[in-house]
Amino acid sequence: MSRLPMPALFLGHGSPMNALEHTPISQSWRELGQTLPKPRAILMISAHWNTRGTLVTAAPKPETIHDFGGFPDTLYAMQYPAPGAPELAAQIATLLPNCSLDKTRGLDHGAWSLLVHLYPEADVPILQLSLDMQLKPEQEYGTGRALRTLREQGVLIIGSGNTVHNLRALVAGDGAYPWASAFNGAIGQKLLDKADDAVLNYTNLVDGDTARLCHPTDEHLRPLFYVLGTGYPDEPRALFNNQLTMGAISMLSLKLG
């Protein structure tokens, strides 16, 4: 490595209400933003932008997208007016096969609901990479590996999703179903063990039925595969916000470097 790279993150984002609420989770995001090196730019990989083929945002002033329903007006009024990074988007498009620029899309809530806490001044250029739903986990990991060089250029890469995400099984309050705890514990241990192959083959972590309960659809887990691909073998890993809520949502987060 020619220089100490920026860390890379996977953040469990949970409910859009986390953008508004002051909780131990949102406080941890604020503290993280205060302790990380100031990035040149941030590349977000959110569970909430699913495409065929890979797209990267290239809008100079990305809009704040309120891609949810049934929440308070104050949440819809929130704006995150960070600048875009069109030149960096063009560079990313050269690093990845079949990657195209999207010059109109803004930031979905998987991005800005975290960023309002991490960088509340909205003074760091932001761009998003879509999830190519045609890719297999190993290919998403490979995409992350192709992006790893950006970390040495001062770019903070953040995957935004959840290691357990089943909206059909939600209940009020904190705590978790036994199957959610079992899966979350298994994936957390494999992350610390740097057993990335086991994470990519997540349906075998506990058993297939448990994996399907934890992820009826897997878009909230996929950002983790990209982030793992950006990792270096010799760098430390740390878990934080490792808790479950509403029965079937994990806020487990990972820091590389």
Which residue segments constitute the domains of the chain, with CATH numbers given? 8-256 (3.40.830.10)
Strand locations in 18-138 (E): 41-51, 54-57, 99-102, 126-132
pTM: 0.96
Helix (H), strand (E) at residue 137: helix 137-147
What integer pLDDT is reported at residue 188 of this predicted model?
Answer: 98
Distance of alpha carbon 9 from alpha carbon 28, whole angstroms: 13
pLDDT computed for residue 3 by the predictor:
59
Query: Per-residue pLDDT for the chain (257 aa), expressed as one digit of tens each?
Result: 345 799 999 999 999 899 999 999 999 999 999 999 999 999 999 999 999 999 999 999 999 999 988 899 999 999 999 999 999 999 999 999 889 999 999 999 999 999 999 999 999 999 999 999 999 999 999 999 999 999 999 999 999 999 999 999 999 888 899 999 999 999 999 999 999 999 999 999 998 899 999 999 999 999 999 999 999 999 999 999 999 999 999 999 999 99
What six digits make up the tokens of 203? 């349906």
- Nearest CA to 127 out of 139, 138, 115, 118 is that of 115
Q: Which residues contact residue 101 at a Cβ distance below 8 angstroms, ignoring those fewer than 6 apart?
A: 55, 56, 57, 58, 86, 89, 90, 93
Q: What is the pLDDT of residues 120-159, one digit of tens each?
A: 999 999 999 999 999 999 999 999 999 999 999 999 999 9
Position 36, amino acid = L
pLDDT per position as a tens digit, 225-243: 999 999 999 999 999 999 9
pLDDT at 48: 97
Q: Which two tokens stand for residue 36?
A: 């990380």
